[in-house]
Amino acid sequence: SHFRFGKRMKVVVSRNLGPDVMPLLQERKELELVVWPEDRPCERKWLLENIPGAIGVVVMLSEKMDQEAYDTAGPSLRVISTMSVGYEHIDLQLAAQRNIKIGYTPDVLTDAVADISVMLALMAGRNVRETTELVGRGDWPKTAWAPFGFCGPQLSANWIHNTRTAGFIGFGRISQATLTRLIPFGFTNCVYMSNPSSKPNPEADAETARRYNLRSVRRVGLDELAAESDVVFVLAPGGASTYHIVNEDFLRKMKETAVLVNTARGTLVDSDALAKALREKWIWGAGIDVVEGEPSVGLDHPLVKEPRCVVLPHIGSATIETRLGMATTAAKNLLGALFDEPMPAELKR
Protein backbone atom coordinates (compact mmCIF):
# COMPACT_ATOMS: atom_id res chain seq x y z
CA SER A 1 0.00 0.00 0.00
CA HIS A 2 1.09 3.57 -0.63
CA PHE A 3 -0.37 4.75 2.67
CA ARG A 4 2.11 6.48 4.93
CA PHE A 5 1.02 6.91 8.51
CA GLY A 6 -0.32 10.36 9.26
CA LYS A 7 -0.18 11.70 5.73
CA ARG A 8 -3.23 11.50 3.55
CA MET A 9 -2.84 10.70 -0.13
CA LYS A 10 -4.09 13.37 -2.50
CA VAL A 11 -6.47 12.22 -5.21
CA VAL A 12 -7.81 14.66 -7.79
CA VAL A 13 -11.25 13.84 -9.20
CA SER A 14 -12.13 15.84 -12.32
CA ARG A 15 -15.88 15.31 -12.06
CA ASN A 16 -18.29 14.48 -9.28
CA LEU A 17 -19.19 10.81 -9.70
CA GLY A 18 -22.56 11.15 -8.00
CA PRO A 19 -24.16 10.09 -4.71
CA ASP A 20 -23.93 6.36 -5.39
CA VAL A 21 -20.24 6.27 -6.22
CA MET A 22 -18.53 9.16 -4.40
CA PRO A 23 -18.93 7.42 -1.00
CA LEU A 24 -16.64 4.62 -2.25
CA LEU A 25 -13.88 7.22 -2.31
CA GLN A 26 -15.06 9.35 0.64
CA GLU A 27 -15.10 6.44 3.06
CA ARG A 28 -11.34 5.93 2.60
CA LYS A 29 -10.06 8.23 5.28
CA GLU A 30 -6.52 7.79 3.99
CA LEU A 31 -7.44 9.87 0.95
CA GLU A 32 -7.50 13.63 0.62
CA LEU A 33 -10.07 14.11 -2.15
CA VAL A 34 -9.93 17.19 -4.34
CA VAL A 35 -13.04 17.24 -6.49
CA TRP A 36 -13.89 19.69 -9.30
CA PRO A 37 -16.99 21.33 -7.84
CA GLU A 38 -18.95 22.20 -10.98
CA ASP A 39 -21.28 20.34 -13.28
CA ARG A 40 -19.23 20.88 -16.43
CA PRO A 41 -15.83 19.63 -17.59
CA CYS A 42 -13.08 20.68 -15.25
CA GLU A 43 -10.87 23.49 -16.39
CA ARG A 44 -7.34 22.66 -17.41
CA LYS A 45 -6.10 25.45 -15.14
CA TRP A 46 -7.89 23.92 -12.14
CA LEU A 47 -6.46 20.48 -12.90
CA LEU A 48 -2.90 21.81 -13.17
CA GLU A 49 -3.29 23.85 -9.99
CA ASN A 50 -4.49 20.87 -8.00
CA ILE A 51 -2.54 17.98 -9.45
CA PRO A 52 0.90 18.67 -7.89
CA GLY A 53 1.67 15.97 -5.34
CA ALA A 54 -1.36 13.85 -6.27
CA ILE A 55 -0.94 10.10 -6.03
CA GLY A 56 -3.99 9.43 -8.18
CA VAL A 57 -6.40 11.12 -10.55
CA VAL A 58 -9.84 10.20 -11.79
CA VAL A 59 -10.41 11.78 -15.20
CA MET A 60 -12.92 11.92 -18.05
CA LEU A 61 -12.28 11.95 -21.80
CA SER A 62 -12.06 15.72 -21.62
CA GLU A 63 -8.89 15.75 -19.50
CA LYS A 64 -5.71 15.46 -21.51
CA MET A 65 -3.13 13.53 -19.51
CA ASP A 66 -0.09 14.68 -21.44
CA GLN A 67 3.50 15.40 -20.47
CA GLU A 68 2.55 18.75 -18.94
CA ALA A 69 -0.01 17.08 -16.69
CA TYR A 70 2.44 14.35 -15.64
CA ASP A 71 5.24 16.82 -14.98
CA THR A 72 2.95 19.09 -12.99
CA ALA A 73 1.76 16.14 -10.90
CA GLY A 74 5.35 15.17 -10.18
CA PRO A 75 6.80 11.83 -9.10
CA SER A 76 4.02 11.09 -6.60
CA LEU A 77 1.58 10.09 -9.36
CA ARG A 78 0.86 6.33 -9.27
CA VAL A 79 -2.50 5.89 -10.98
CA ILE A 80 -4.69 7.48 -13.64
CA SER A 81 -8.23 6.17 -13.65
CA THR A 82 -10.38 7.26 -16.58
CA MET A 83 -14.15 6.93 -16.63
CA SER A 84 -14.13 5.76 -20.26
CA VAL A 85 -13.14 2.80 -22.36
CA GLY A 86 -11.27 5.10 -24.72
CA TYR A 87 -7.82 6.25 -23.67
CA GLU A 88 -6.46 8.41 -26.47
CA HIS A 89 -6.43 11.35 -24.04
CA ILE A 90 -3.76 9.61 -21.95
CA ASP A 91 -0.09 9.40 -22.89
CA LEU A 92 0.46 5.68 -22.30
CA GLN A 93 4.13 5.67 -23.13
CA LEU A 94 4.91 8.22 -20.45
CA ALA A 95 2.73 6.33 -18.00
CA ALA A 96 4.74 3.17 -18.68
CA GLN A 97 8.04 4.99 -18.29
CA ARG A 98 6.95 6.44 -14.97
CA ASN A 99 5.38 3.24 -13.75
CA ILE A 100 1.93 4.78 -13.48
CA LYS A 101 -1.02 2.39 -13.57
CA ILE A 102 -3.94 3.12 -15.88
CA GLY A 103 -7.52 2.10 -15.13
CA TYR A 104 -10.32 2.27 -17.72
CA THR A 105 -13.89 1.01 -18.11
CA PRO A 106 -14.28 -1.68 -20.79
CA ASP A 107 -17.11 -4.27 -20.76
CA VAL A 108 -19.64 -2.30 -18.68
CA LEU A 109 -20.48 -0.10 -21.67
CA THR A 110 -20.36 -2.71 -24.43
CA ASP A 111 -24.10 -3.41 -24.53
CA ALA A 112 -25.17 0.23 -24.27
CA VAL A 113 -22.95 1.21 -27.20
CA ALA A 114 -24.01 -1.83 -29.26
CA ASP A 115 -27.66 -0.89 -28.62
CA ILE A 116 -27.18 2.65 -29.83
CA SER A 117 -25.19 1.48 -32.85
CA VAL A 118 -28.15 -0.58 -34.05
CA MET A 119 -30.47 2.32 -33.22
CA LEU A 120 -28.41 4.67 -35.39
CA ALA A 121 -28.33 2.17 -38.26
CA LEU A 122 -32.12 2.03 -38.15
CA MET A 123 -32.52 5.78 -37.77
CA ALA A 124 -30.16 6.59 -40.63
CA GLY A 125 -31.85 4.18 -43.03
CA ARG A 126 -35.42 5.04 -42.11
CA ASN A 127 -35.13 8.82 -42.42
CA VAL A 128 -35.83 9.39 -38.76
CA ARG A 129 -34.22 12.80 -38.61
CA GLU A 130 -36.21 14.26 -41.51
CA THR A 131 -39.47 12.76 -40.33
CA THR A 132 -39.25 13.61 -36.63
CA GLU A 133 -38.25 17.16 -37.54
CA LEU A 134 -41.26 17.36 -39.83
CA VAL A 135 -43.60 16.30 -37.04
CA GLY A 136 -41.82 18.65 -34.62
CA ARG A 137 -42.47 21.58 -36.98
CA GLY A 138 -46.17 20.67 -37.03
CA ASP A 139 -46.07 19.65 -40.70
CA TRP A 140 -47.55 16.17 -40.47
CA PRO A 141 -51.02 17.41 -41.50
CA LYS A 142 -49.47 18.64 -44.78
CA THR A 143 -48.04 15.25 -45.71
CA ALA A 144 -50.63 12.50 -46.07
CA TRP A 145 -49.57 8.86 -46.03
CA ALA A 146 -48.15 8.11 -49.47
CA PRO A 147 -47.33 4.76 -51.09
CA PHE A 148 -43.63 5.58 -51.25
CA GLY A 149 -43.46 8.44 -48.78
CA PHE A 150 -40.32 8.65 -46.63
CA CYS A 151 -39.09 5.24 -47.76
CA GLY A 152 -35.57 4.15 -46.99
CA PRO A 153 -33.55 0.95 -47.31
CA GLN A 154 -34.60 -1.87 -44.99
CA LEU A 155 -32.04 -2.96 -42.42
CA SER A 156 -33.42 -6.47 -42.02
CA ALA A 157 -33.26 -9.11 -44.75
CA ASN A 158 -36.29 -8.91 -46.99
CA TRP A 159 -37.99 -10.32 -50.09
CA ILE A 160 -35.82 -8.27 -52.44
CA HIS A 161 -32.55 -8.49 -50.53
CA ASN A 162 -32.23 -11.83 -48.84
CA THR A 163 -28.62 -11.26 -47.88
CA ARG A 164 -27.42 -8.53 -45.56
CA THR A 165 -23.79 -7.74 -44.85
CA ALA A 166 -22.54 -5.92 -41.78
CA GLY A 167 -19.15 -4.24 -42.03
CA PHE A 168 -17.08 -3.39 -38.98
CA ILE A 169 -14.06 -1.11 -38.81
CA GLY A 170 -12.57 -2.62 -35.68
CA PHE A 171 -13.81 -5.97 -34.46
CA GLY A 172 -13.58 -5.86 -30.70
CA ARG A 173 -16.14 -6.32 -27.95
CA ILE A 174 -18.58 -3.64 -29.11
CA SER A 175 -18.52 -4.77 -32.75
CA GLN A 176 -19.21 -8.35 -31.75
CA ALA A 177 -22.07 -7.29 -29.45
CA THR A 178 -23.48 -5.27 -32.35
CA LEU A 179 -23.19 -8.27 -34.68
CA THR A 180 -25.07 -10.39 -32.13
CA ARG A 181 -27.96 -7.94 -32.27
CA LEU A 182 -28.08 -8.07 -36.06
CA ILE A 183 -28.57 -11.83 -36.25
CA PRO A 184 -32.35 -11.63 -35.58
CA PHE A 185 -32.49 -9.01 -38.37
CA GLY A 186 -31.51 -11.75 -40.80
CA PHE A 187 -27.95 -10.66 -41.43
CA THR A 188 -26.11 -13.27 -43.46
CA ASN A 189 -22.55 -12.00 -43.75
CA CYS A 190 -19.95 -10.08 -41.83
CA VAL A 191 -16.80 -8.37 -43.03
CA TYR A 192 -14.41 -6.58 -40.75
CA MET A 193 -11.14 -4.74 -40.60
CA SER A 194 -8.71 -5.10 -37.73
CA ASN A 195 -5.60 -3.44 -36.47
CA PRO A 196 -2.91 -4.40 -39.07
CA SER A 197 -0.56 -5.48 -36.27
CA SER A 198 -2.92 -8.25 -35.13
CA LYS A 199 -2.68 -11.69 -36.77
CA PRO A 200 -5.49 -12.89 -39.07
CA ASN A 201 -7.41 -15.75 -37.51
CA PRO A 202 -9.53 -17.58 -40.09
CA GLU A 203 -10.41 -20.35 -37.61
CA ALA A 204 -11.86 -17.86 -35.15
CA ASP A 205 -13.78 -16.24 -38.03
CA ALA A 206 -15.20 -19.63 -39.09
CA GLU A 207 -16.16 -20.28 -35.48
CA THR A 208 -17.94 -16.89 -35.24
CA ALA A 209 -19.79 -17.69 -38.48
CA ARG A 210 -20.89 -21.06 -37.09
CA ARG A 211 -21.97 -19.59 -33.79
CA TYR A 212 -24.26 -17.06 -35.46
CA ASN A 213 -25.26 -19.19 -38.40
CA LEU A 214 -23.75 -16.66 -40.80
CA ARG A 215 -22.62 -17.63 -44.31
CA SER A 216 -19.29 -15.93 -43.78
CA VAL A 217 -17.22 -13.83 -41.45
CA ARG A 218 -14.19 -12.41 -43.22
CA ARG A 219 -11.37 -10.09 -42.37
CA VAL A 220 -10.94 -7.82 -45.39
CA GLY A 221 -9.26 -4.63 -46.56
CA LEU A 222 -10.96 -1.25 -46.51
CA ASP A 223 -12.00 -1.30 -50.18
CA GLU A 224 -13.78 -4.60 -49.89
CA LEU A 225 -15.40 -3.57 -46.64
CA ALA A 226 -16.77 -0.39 -48.23
CA ALA A 227 -18.05 -2.19 -51.31
CA GLU A 228 -19.76 -5.13 -49.62
CA SER A 229 -21.41 -3.66 -46.52
CA ASP A 230 -25.07 -2.68 -46.19
CA VAL A 231 -24.12 -0.98 -42.94
CA VAL A 232 -20.62 0.10 -41.95
CA PHE A 233 -20.06 0.36 -38.21
CA VAL A 234 -17.06 2.42 -37.17
CA LEU A 235 -15.96 0.88 -33.89
CA ALA A 236 -12.20 1.20 -33.61
CA PRO A 237 -10.16 3.27 -31.15
CA GLY A 238 -9.28 6.88 -31.92
CA GLY A 239 -5.77 8.23 -32.24
CA ALA A 240 -3.28 8.73 -35.05
CA SER A 241 -3.44 5.22 -36.53
CA THR A 242 -7.16 5.44 -37.36
CA TYR A 243 -7.35 9.12 -38.27
CA HIS A 244 -9.81 9.72 -41.17
CA ILE A 245 -9.89 6.05 -42.05
CA VAL A 246 -13.32 6.83 -43.48
CA ASN A 247 -12.45 9.39 -46.13
CA GLU A 248 -13.72 10.39 -49.55
CA ASP A 249 -12.12 7.37 -51.18
CA PHE A 250 -13.84 4.96 -48.77
CA LEU A 251 -17.23 6.66 -49.01
CA ARG A 252 -17.15 6.62 -52.82
CA LYS A 253 -16.78 2.84 -52.71
CA MET A 254 -19.81 2.28 -50.47
CA LYS A 255 -23.21 1.17 -51.79
CA GLU A 256 -25.71 3.91 -52.57
CA THR A 257 -28.20 2.27 -50.21
CA ALA A 258 -25.71 1.74 -47.39
CA VAL A 259 -25.51 3.66 -44.14
CA LEU A 260 -22.52 4.61 -42.05
CA VAL A 261 -22.64 4.47 -38.25
CA ASN A 262 -19.92 6.00 -36.08
CA THR A 263 -20.14 5.29 -32.37
CA ALA A 264 -16.38 5.29 -31.77
CA ARG A 265 -14.47 8.54 -32.18
CA GLY A 266 -15.10 11.49 -34.45
CA THR A 267 -11.52 11.46 -35.67
CA LEU A 268 -12.03 8.24 -37.65
CA VAL A 269 -14.36 9.96 -40.11
CA ASP A 270 -13.56 12.93 -42.33
CA SER A 271 -16.63 15.08 -41.66
CA ASP A 272 -16.36 17.11 -44.87
CA ALA A 273 -16.07 13.97 -46.98
CA LEU A 274 -19.10 12.45 -45.23
CA ALA A 275 -21.14 15.63 -45.75
CA LYS A 276 -20.22 15.52 -49.45
CA ALA A 277 -21.12 11.82 -49.68
CA LEU A 278 -24.55 12.55 -48.21
CA ARG A 279 -25.14 15.66 -50.31
CA GLU A 280 -24.18 13.90 -53.53
CA LYS A 281 -25.95 10.68 -52.49
CA TRP A 282 -22.99 8.32 -52.71
CA ILE A 283 -24.52 6.68 -49.62
CA TRP A 284 -28.00 6.70 -48.13
CA GLY A 285 -27.44 8.12 -44.69
CA ALA A 286 -25.31 8.30 -41.59
CA GLY A 287 -25.83 7.97 -37.87
CA ILE A 288 -23.09 9.42 -35.74
CA ASP A 289 -22.68 9.75 -31.99
CA VAL A 290 -19.24 11.36 -32.22
CA VAL A 291 -17.86 14.15 -34.39
CA GLU A 292 -14.31 15.37 -34.84
CA GLY A 293 -13.88 18.57 -32.83
CA GLU A 294 -16.86 17.87 -30.54
CA PRO A 295 -18.45 19.44 -28.62
CA SER A 296 -17.97 22.40 -30.99
CA VAL A 297 -20.65 21.13 -33.34
CA GLY A 298 -23.14 23.91 -34.01
CA LEU A 299 -25.81 24.57 -36.61
CA ASP A 300 -23.18 25.54 -39.15
CA HIS A 301 -21.41 22.17 -38.96
CA PRO A 302 -21.53 20.45 -42.37
CA LEU A 303 -22.96 17.24 -40.86
CA VAL A 304 -25.61 19.01 -38.80
CA LYS A 305 -26.75 20.62 -42.06
CA GLU A 306 -27.24 17.24 -43.79
CA PRO A 307 -30.84 16.00 -43.36
CA ARG A 308 -29.71 12.40 -43.86
CA CYS A 309 -27.26 12.60 -40.99
CA VAL A 310 -28.54 11.74 -37.52
CA VAL A 311 -26.19 13.40 -35.03
CA LEU A 312 -26.16 12.54 -31.34
CA PRO A 313 -24.05 14.37 -28.72
CA HIS A 314 -21.83 11.42 -27.63
CA ILE A 315 -24.43 9.51 -25.64
CA GLY A 316 -23.51 5.96 -26.69
CA SER A 317 -22.84 4.79 -23.15
CA ALA A 318 -25.45 7.05 -21.56
CA THR A 319 -27.72 4.58 -19.85
CA ILE A 320 -28.30 4.92 -16.13
CA GLU A 321 -27.01 1.41 -15.52
CA THR A 322 -23.91 1.74 -17.69
CA ARG A 323 -22.80 5.11 -16.36
CA LEU A 324 -23.17 3.81 -12.80
CA GLY A 325 -21.06 0.84 -13.83
CA MET A 326 -18.43 3.06 -15.42
CA ALA A 327 -18.22 5.40 -12.43
CA THR A 328 -18.01 2.45 -10.02
CA THR A 329 -15.29 0.81 -12.11
CA ALA A 330 -13.36 4.10 -12.26
CA ALA A 331 -13.52 4.49 -8.47
CA LYS A 332 -12.55 0.86 -7.84
CA ASN A 333 -9.68 1.02 -10.34
CA LEU A 334 -8.26 3.95 -8.44
CA LEU A 335 -8.68 2.28 -5.05
CA GLY A 336 -7.30 -0.99 -6.37
CA ALA A 337 -4.10 0.66 -7.54
CA LEU A 338 -3.63 2.59 -4.29
CA PHE A 339 -4.50 -0.09 -1.76
CA ASP A 340 -3.09 -3.16 -3.47
CA GLU A 341 -6.58 -4.46 -4.12
CA PRO A 342 -7.51 -5.93 -7.51
CA MET A 343 -8.23 -3.31 -10.16
CA PRO A 344 -11.43 -4.30 -12.03
CA ALA A 345 -9.92 -3.12 -15.33
CA GLU A 346 -6.29 -2.21 -15.60
CA LEU A 347 -5.09 -1.18 -19.03
CA LYS A 348 -2.08 -3.32 -19.82
CA ARG A 349 0.17 -2.41 -22.68
Q: Is residue 58 involved in binding ligand DGY (CB under 6 A)?
A: no
Segment interacting with ligand DGY, rule: CB under 6 A, options 83-91, 114-122, 126-134, 199-207: 83-91
Nearest residue (CB) to ligand DGY, 65 versus 254: 65
Interface with ligand DGY, residue 317, by CB under 6 A = yes
Sign of the Cα pseudo-torsion (79, 80, 86, 92, in order): negative
Q: Rounded to whole angstroms, how far apart are CA atoms 314 and 295?
A: 9
Instruction: Give the x-and-dash track for 95-114 against ligand DGY (CB under 6 A).
Output: --------------x-----
Closest CA to 333 of 79, 113, 124, 142: 79
The residues that bridge with 44 in the sheet, in sequence order, are none
189 CB neighbour count, 10 Å cutoff? 18
Residue among 85 and 327 whose Cβ is closer to ligand DGY? 85
Contact 176, 107 (CB under 8 A): no
**From candidates 14, 50, 84, 194, binder to ligand DGY by CB under 6 A:** 84
Is the Cβ of residue 71 or residue 88 nearer to ligand DGY in the bound state?
Answer: 88
Report in angstroms how near the CB of residue 6 gets to ligand DGY at its nearest: 37
Asked if 239 touches ligand DGY (CB under 6 A), the answer is: no
Q: Name the residue nearer to ligand DGY (CB basis): 52 or 237.
A: 237
Residue 61 or 191 having the CB closest to ligand DGY: 61
Instruction: Work out the end-to-end distance of the chain between its first and last CA atoms, rounded to an integer number of angstroms.
Output: 23
User: Does 337 help bind ligand DGY (rule: CB under 6 A)?
Assistant: no
| 69 part of the interface to ligand DGY, by CB under 6 A | no
Beta strands in 52-188 (DSSP E): 56-59, 79-82, 101-103, 165-169
**Alpha-carbon separation of residue 339 from 98, 100, 316 (angstroms):** 19, 14, 32
Pick the binder of ligand DGY from 31, 35, 77, 85 (CB under 6 A): 85
CB 162, CB 190: distance < 8 Å: no
Contacts with 257 (C-beta within 8 Å, 6 or more apart), sequence order: 153, 230, 284
Closer residue to ligand DGY in complex, CB, 155/236 = 236
For CA atoms 24, 30, 36, 37, the dihedral sign is positive
Could you give the residue numbers annotated as active site?
Answer: 314
* Least Å from the CB of residue 233 to ligand DGY: 15
Report in angstroms how near the CB of residue 315 gets to ligand DGY at its nearest: 9
CA distance linking residue 231 with residue 228, whole number of Å:
9
DSSP per residue, 161-217: ----EEEEES-SHHHHHHHHHHGGGT--EEEEE--TTSPP-HHHHHHHHHHHT-SEE
Site for ligand DGY in 206-235 (CB under 6 A): none
Q: Please report how close the Cβ of residue 318 comes to ligand DGY at its closest, in angstroms.
A: 8
CA-nearest of 281, 272, 228, 274 to 253 is: 228
Q: List the one residue from 41, 53, 86, 186 that touches ligand DGY (CB under 6 A).
A: 86
Residues that contact ligand DGY, how many (by CB under 6 A): 7
Q: Tell me how far, at minimum, the Cβ of 316 lies from ligand DGY, in Å.
A: 6
The binding site for ligand DGY (CB under 6 A) comprises 61, 84-86, 109, 316-317
